[in-house]
Every structure is written in structure tokens, then in C-alpha cells.
Amino acid sequence: MDKSATIEIVEQFGTRLAGQYLTFVLSGEEYCIELFKVQQIIQLESITRVPLSPKFILGVINLRGKVVPVVDLRIKFEMEVGERTEKTCMVVLQLNASGSPFTVAFIIDEVREVTKIKEEEIEEVPEFGASLDVSFLMGVAKINHSVRMLLDIDKLFSLQELNRLDSLQEM
């Protein structure tokens, strides 16, 4: 990509994505989510399984009197499910995908850091063809010779999945 094309992408694309992100690890790869969506990071706790839920929805937890659905991102991303370690935790996030905000906890392998990503470090998501839906990716950050996917958690779930998550919260 030539320099003028990169500048054009940053001008129309990178500016709105620059900011603070929580970096975490899943199956050895680093991902980022916008920090303002993170409510808290908690240790793994007992999860109550909800019958007939999709496999990636592990169940619900009681978080200070509120029922919160728990999603295993490895399963959602069709990754191999690995062993839980002392670094495995839950990131509690505020989603606003269906027009009304709701809370969900993601199980991740490890929290890495909170980092500020500059607009010049962000590029568009590469084209993968029509067979691969990457609409849940906001961009790709190139930081210190590594690539981190910027997740748009509001686009991570289908409408049917969102309705299922929302209904679990109302239990």
C-alpha cells in the first residue's frame, strides 16, 4: 500500500478508532476492545449452565445481584478450547448492539494491558472474500511488530444470539 493510500485510510478510518483499548489473549493471539466498554475484570467463578443455550454461551453468573450471561470467546470464534489457567478471567462488558445496553462477561485466556492505540497504527481489516464474515472487526492495529485485531463487540453476535443473551439477563 502506498503512503497516500495509507494517509487516506487513516483520515477516514483511523481517527475514529484511535484511543484506549484493553488488550487480551485468546489462544495465543492478541485482541483489543475499546476500554470504555469494559466494566470490570473478575476472576472465574461458578457459572450456572442454562439448558438449550448455544455452546458459546456457558451460562450465567450472579454479579452483585444482577444475572450476567457468560460467553466463551474461544468457542464463539471456533477456536480449540484450551485449559483454564490462573490467568484465565472474565471481562465484564457493556454491549449496545440491539439499541438497549446490556451486560455480558467474556471468558478470556489472559489480560495483557491497557494501551493507547494511535491512528497511524490502525489499518482497515483486510479483505477475506465473501465466505468469511469479519464485520465484528473494526480494524487491525500494528504495534511493536505485532498485529492486534480490534473487536467491535456490538457486532460480534447475530440478532438471534443477542436476543438469547438478553433473555438470559432477564432471568
Contact 115, 21 (CB under 8 A): yes
Q: What are phi and psi of 40, to 5 degrees?
A: -170, 165
Q: What is the pLDDT of residue 131?
A: 61
Q: What is the pLDDT of residue 123?
A: 83
> What pTM, to 2 d.p., does this model score?
0.80
- pLDDT tens-place string over residues 120-136: 888 887 776 556 667 78
Q: What is the pLDDT of residue 128?
A: 66
| CATH ID of 3-169, from 3.90.79.10, 3.40.50.850, 3.40.190.10, 2.40.50.180 | 2.40.50.180
| Beta-bridge partners for 62 | 67
Mean pLDDT of the chain: 83
Distance, in Å, from the CA atom of 73 to the CA atom of 33, rounded to the nearest integer, reads: 13
Report domain extents, the chain: 3-169
- Give Cα separations from 73 to 2, 10, 19, 60, 111 (angstroms): 35, 29, 23, 15, 13
DSSP one-letter string for 41-54: EEE----B--TT--
Q: What is the pLDDT of residue 10?
A: 43
Instruction: Spell out, as residue ranges, where the chain has pLDDT lower than 50.
Output: 1-14
Q: What is the pLDDT of residue 67?
A: 92
